[in-house]
Amino acid sequence: MSVTNVISEIKKDFIYNLLLKGERIDGRTFDQYREISIQRDVIRKAEGSALVKMGSSQVLVGVKMQPGEPFPDTPNKGVIITNAELVPLASPSFEPGPPNEVGIELARVVDRGVRESKAVDLEKLCIVPGKQVWIIFIDVHILDDCGNILDAASLGAIAALLSTKVPAARFGLGEDYVLPIRDIPIATTAIEFNDVLMFDPGVDEEAIANTRLTIISTAQGNICGSQKSGAGMLKPEQIYRIIDIACEKAREIREKFLEA
Amino acid sequence: MDRKVVVPGDLLSEEAKRSGEGTYVKNGGVYSLLYGLANFRDKINVIPLAGKYIPGPGDNVIGVVKDITFSNWIVDINSPYDGLLHISEFPIRIESDEMSKYLRIGSSIMTRVADVDPTMKVELTLNDKKLGQIKAGQVIEISHTRVPRLIGKGGSMISMLKKEVNCNIFVGQNGRIWIHGGTEDMDLALKTITLIEKEAHTNGLTDRIVGFLKKEKGARS
Amino acid sequence: MDETDISFFKDGLRLDGRRADQLRPVKIEVGVLARADGSCYIEMGGNKVIAAVYGPREVHPRHLQEATRAIVRYRYNMASFSVEDRKRPGPDRRSQELSKVSREALEPVILTSFFPRSVIDVFIEVLQADAGTRTAGINAAAVALADAGIPMKSMISSCAAGKVADTIILDPMKEEDNFGQADLPIAMTPSGDITLLQMDGDLTRDEFQRAVEMAMKGAKDIYELQRGALVKKYSQMVEQPVREDVHVCD
């Protein structure tokens, strides 16, 4: 949710009136996603990359890898570090500076999807046990916030990982090889407004909604992450309804774009 | 050729006296200040393809009250500059502590720009029968650059629209438009305005809008 | 690897097959972002840079505003994945210096007096870096400013010259920049007024002049590409009525 996206009273009323008639501003149905496109390998210098467009939202995710020290409590496991830059170029409400709570939340939810689905086998990223492992940096760079950048970022992360080549040669660790990925977690987000649930919210829809729920599901249809965001409330029935649609949407997106 | 796409710095003419809006004069030549369409008439004007709404005196605008001070309502007019509605420009005489009773934060008003000073202090007025608080109907926001097309040459497009949809329509130069009429009529008006905004730059728009309105009204009955 | 290991020229051609006075391929797309008021995506060789303009808009914090004109802000930023070794996010001293001189390259032509008490924000994101990101940024910024409808006396175009193997070259690529003998970026108006000039390395006064002249010619060629991209975007524009002086209301 864009934290300081101020929407004029005029636009708010306009959207609200449409909602009462069962319509969305762009004519979509309530569970319909905008047009999605994914371009992989767009940044040569990165080990993996993907540019995701969801409607007019645009998110670029780059994956960089380098050898480094493991965390002391997991001496034989590789490390994943996920960061999101909500750069001021992408929205009039993004300010320059280190990530604020919105950016941090976005990065951590994207990370959750990758980590909890075990898409990357961290033990396979061990180079010298206890001393050297592969560090994977997933860097989300928002280019155009037209709503639901979380789903776009999450999709970008897994798409970038799927196209990542481990740069072993550069560090004298053998030949480059494709990073093995074991699952394809997909995040799907719905907002709730006046008891109406809307998936893939546009930027104006986000600005009027109190509550947002993101569900991250795996290729098996299990849930590996979820996040309720915003200062509103959800009833359990609403949550289960969202989960049903979310998993179905995730399956559609996974099949259409990311299965080989 | 009387229209041409130009970029900032393009030389438009060697006759300095033909310099119009969106141009400047240097060494006797007229140059474009903007990326837009240059219109070559007696005066050469360049109409930008984008840009913020900058209020000018006499503009009708629709604003939303965003703050109230001792003697002014501060009004958002969809511009880098806020409008100031002084208590004396309210149609009836009221006291300072009554201001929020009449127009509170969030109230929408149909207003006019009375004056703009060199520091871009924008003064609004409600002292006119046709202006006032919006209490019913709907307001739509379009890009302010499309407003001339919505109004049309000599007001032709907007007059036709008002008649065909049977609605009151107040067009703000800042891209905000108020519509009031029956529910179905307002719907049609909104749909039509959205279509005009989308296709503002194309040829033969007036005929297409007339056709669209005919079709929609025919489908209704 | 140091400069003595690289042979910069082979049969009169550079490492990437260019002649000494040749630009790398350039691609310019106008209006690529929906939220920004104006935007431009540019590729110059391996550089991938995107520029966005917001403004004129209200200045926050208010004390920064100027009563008689708009202030211009320019923020150059590199994405973490834009370079070979992942870069920590956030501004460093280099990006702050680049931001300042780039802003000063564009300010001279922007008619800030048209918009008192406001700010024109220019944001540059380097998505992939390959020597010459600052010139790519300025080129994209100028197009984005035009796309946003900001009034300017003229466009600004930017290009760099360098010296490798005692030869003045145009638009250095990464190895030429890292291991060459000099780097000289400029920015200018199409009529040749210089708004940015930086240099590091070792040049005689004659070489300096030749480098400037070569960079200026490169900038002029880039201007044609900027202009072409802007005109092409609206080449189908036809009927656009002029603003009426009649205000219609009911």
pLDDT per position as a tens digit, A185-206: 999 999 998 888 999 999 999 9
Q: Residue C247 pLDDT > 70, yes or no?
A: no
Stretch C60-83: mean pLDDT:
95
Q: Are C123 and A89 inside 8 Å of each other by CB? A: yes
CB pairs under 8 A between B and C: 135
CA distance B148 to B145: 7
Name chain A contacts of B62, Cβ cutoff 8 Å.
Answer: 10
The pLDDT of residue C4: 55
Give the CATH architecture of domain C25-229: 2-Layer Sandwich (3.30)
Of the listed ranges A61-65, A138-142, C55-59, the least confidently predicted one is: C55-59
Pair of tokens at residue A150: 């979380």
Contact C35 A66 (CB under 8 A): no
CA C161 to chain CA centroid, nearest Å: 14
pLDDT of C5 above 70:
no
- Of the candidate ranges A251-255, C87-91, C239-243, the one whose mean pLDDT is the lowest: C239-243
Q: Chain A: nearest CA to C8, how far in angstroms?
A: 22
Is the Cβ pair A43, C128 closer than 8 Å?
yes
- Average pLDDT of the segment spanning B56-60: 96
Residue B112 DSSP one-character state: E
- Best of A9, A14, A15, A25 to disrupt the B interface by mutation (most B CBs within 10 Å)? A9
Q: Is B141 at the interface with chain A, CB within 8 A?
A: yes
Across the interface, do A10 and B64 touch by the CB < 8 Å criterion?
yes
B94: its two tokens: 């009221």
In eight-state DSSP terms, residue B22 is: T
CA of C142 vs chain B CAs: smallest distance (Å)? 10
Whether pLDDT at A20 is above 90: no
| pLDDT tens for each residue of A223-235 | 999 999 999 999 9
Nearest to C198 by CA among C94, C57, C58, C101: C101
Domains contained in chain B, CATH given: 3-48 (2.40.50.100), 60-133 (2.40.50.140), 138-220 (3.30.1370.10)
**How much is the pLDDT for B221?**
67
Q: How many CB atoms lie within 10 A of CB C34?
A: 16
Residue B30's closest chain C neighbor by CA? C153
Answer yes or no: do A10 and B106 touch at CB < 8 A. no
Check A64 against C36: CB less than 8 A apart: no
Q: Please tell me which of the candidates B106, B138, B140 has its beta carbon nearest to residue A9.
A: B106
C1 pLDDT band (50/70/90 cuts)? very low
**Average of per-residue pLDDT across A101-116:** 97
Average pLDDT over residues B55-79: 95
The answer to whether B168 and B181 are in contact (CB under 8 A) is yes
Nearest-angstrom CA–CA distance, C45 and C24: 5
pTM: 0.93
Tell me which long-range contacts C16-20 makes (C-beta under 8 A, separation of at least 24). Answer: C16/C45, C16/C173, C20/C167, C20/C168, C20/C169, C20/C170
* Over residues C1-21, mean pLDDT: 81
Phi, psi for residue B169 in degrees, rounded to 5: -135, 130
Q: What is the pLDDT of residue A83?
A: 98
- What are chain C's partners, defined as 3 or more CB pairs within 8 angstroms? A, B
Residue in chain B nearest C244 by alpha carbon: B148
Per-residue confidence (pLDDT) for residue A156, from 0 to 100:
98
Q: Which pLDDT score, from 0 to 100, does residue C20 have?
A: 96
At residue A3, the pLDDT reads 33
**C-chain residue closest to A48, CA distance:** C81
Pick the residue from chain A with its C-alpha nearest to B177. A10
Using CA atoms, how far residue A120 sits from A141, A177, A178, in Å, is: 21, 14, 12
Residues of B in contact with A17 (CB under 8 A): 138
pLDDT at B201 over 80: no
Task: Name the minimum distance, in Å, from the CA of A98 to any CA of chain C.
Answer: 7
Q: What is the mean pLDDT of chain C?
A: 92
| Candidates B8, B37, B52; nearest CB to C155 | B8
Residue A13: pLDDT band (50, 70, 90) is: confident
How confident is the model at residue B216, as a pLDDT? Answer: 86
Tens-place pLDDT, residues C128-158: 999 999 999 999 999 999 999 999 999 999 9
Q: Does the pLDDT at position A10 exceed 80?
A: no
Chain B neighbors of C148, CB-CB under 8 A: 50-51
B78 touches chain A (CB under 8 A): yes
Share of chain C above pLDDT 70, in %: 92
Average pLDDT of the residues of chain A: 93
pLDDT at B185 over 80: yes
List the single residue in B48, B52, B202 with the smallest CB-CB distance to C239: B202
A63 CA to chain C: closest CA distance, Å? 7
Q: What is each CA distance from B167 to B162, B178, B188, in whole angstroms?
A: 6, 10, 10
Supply C93's token pair: 């001293």
* pLDDT at C246 exceeding the cut of 60: no
Considering only CB atoms, which chain A residues are within 8 Å of B106?
9
- Chains with 3+ CB–CB pairs under 8 A to A are B, C
The number of residues making up chain C comes to 250
Residue in A closest to C128 by C-alpha = A43
- The structure tokens listed for C73 are 């802000």
Asked which of A6-15, A101-110, A196-205, C63-72 is least confident by mean pLDDT, the reply is A6-15
**Contact yes or no for A43 and C48 at CB 8 A:** yes
Put simply, the answer to whether A44 touches C128 (Cβ < 8 Å) is: yes
CA distance C133 to chain A (A): 14
In this complex, the residue of C58, C190, C244 whose CB is nearest that of residue B9 is: C190
Q: pLDDT at position A67, please?
A: 97
ipTM field: 0.93
C186-201 tens-digit pLDDT: 999 999 999 999 999 9
In terms of CA atoms, which chain B residue is nearest residue C155?
B8
Q: What is the mean pLDDT of chain B?
A: 92
B124 versus B212: the higher-pLDDT residue is B124
pLDDT, one tens digit per residue, over C25-49 is: 999 999 999 999 999 999 999 999 9
Phi and psi at residue C167, to the nearest 5°:
-120, 135
Residue A14 is nearest to which of B62, B78, B138, comparing CB atoms? B138
Residues on chain C touching B109 (C-beta within 8 angstroms):
none
Q: Give pLDDT, residue A6.
A: 59
Q: DSSP assignment, residue A70? A: P
* Chain B neighbors of A8, CB-CB under 8 A: 64, 76, 78, 141
B184 contact A CB<8A = no
Of the candidates C37, C114, C118, which has its C-beta nearest B50's C-beta? C37
Mean pLDDT value of segment A81-101: 96
Domains of chain A as residue ranges with CATH: 30-258 (3.30.230.70)
- Say whether B155 and C234 touch across the interface (CB within 8 A): no
- Residue that wins the pLDDT comparison between B200 and C80: C80
CA distance linking residue A227 with residue C138, whole number of Å: 40
The chain A residue lying nearest B65, using CA atoms, is A9
Reported as a pLDDT band with limits 50, 70 and 90, residue C234 is: confident
Q: Nearest CA of chain C to the CA of B71: how many Å? A: 21
Residue A242 in 3-state DSSP? helix
What percentage of residues in chain A have a pLDDT greater than 70?
Answer: 97
pLDDT band for position C239 (cuts 50, 70, 90)? very low
Q: At residue A5, does pLDDT exceed 70?
A: no
> What is the share, in percent, of chain B residues with pLDDT greater than 90?
69
Q: Which pLDDT score, from 0 to 100, does residue A195 have?
A: 85
Q: Between C217 and B220, where is the model more confident?
A: C217
The pLDDT tens digits for B137-161 are 889 889 998 898 899 888 999 999 9
> What chains are in contact with B, requiring at least 3 Cβ pairs below 8 Å?
A, C
> Using a CB-CB distance cutoff of 8 angstroms, which residues of chain C are in contact with residue B81?
117-118
Using alpha carbons, select from B157, B145, B221, B219 the residue that is nearest to residue B192: B157
Residue from the list B50, B120, B171 with its beta carbon closest to the beta carbon of C147: B50
Answer whether B26's CB lies under 8 Å from B139's CB.
no
| Burial (Cβ within 10 Å: 0-12, 13-18, ≥19) of residue A30 | middle
Radius of gyration of chain B (CA): 20
DSSP string over chain C: --GGG---EETTEETTS--TT-PPPEEEEE---SSSSEEEEEEETTEEEEEEEEEEE--SSGGG--SSSEEEEEEEEE-GGGSSSPPPSS--HHHHHHHHHHHHHHGGGB-GGGSTTEEEEEEEEEEE-SS-HHHHHHHHHHHHHHHTT--BSS--EEEEEEEETTEEEES--HHHHHHSSEEEEEEE-TT--EEEE--EE---HHHHHHHHHHHHHHHHHHHHHHHHHHHHHTTT----PPPPS-----
* C-beta separation of C112 from C72 below 8 A: yes
How near does any CA of chain A get to the CA of C234, in Å? Answer: 20
The Cα of A8 is separated from the nearest Cα of chain B by a number of Å equal to 8
- The reply to whether residue C125 touches residue A146, judged by beta carbons under 8 angstroms, is no
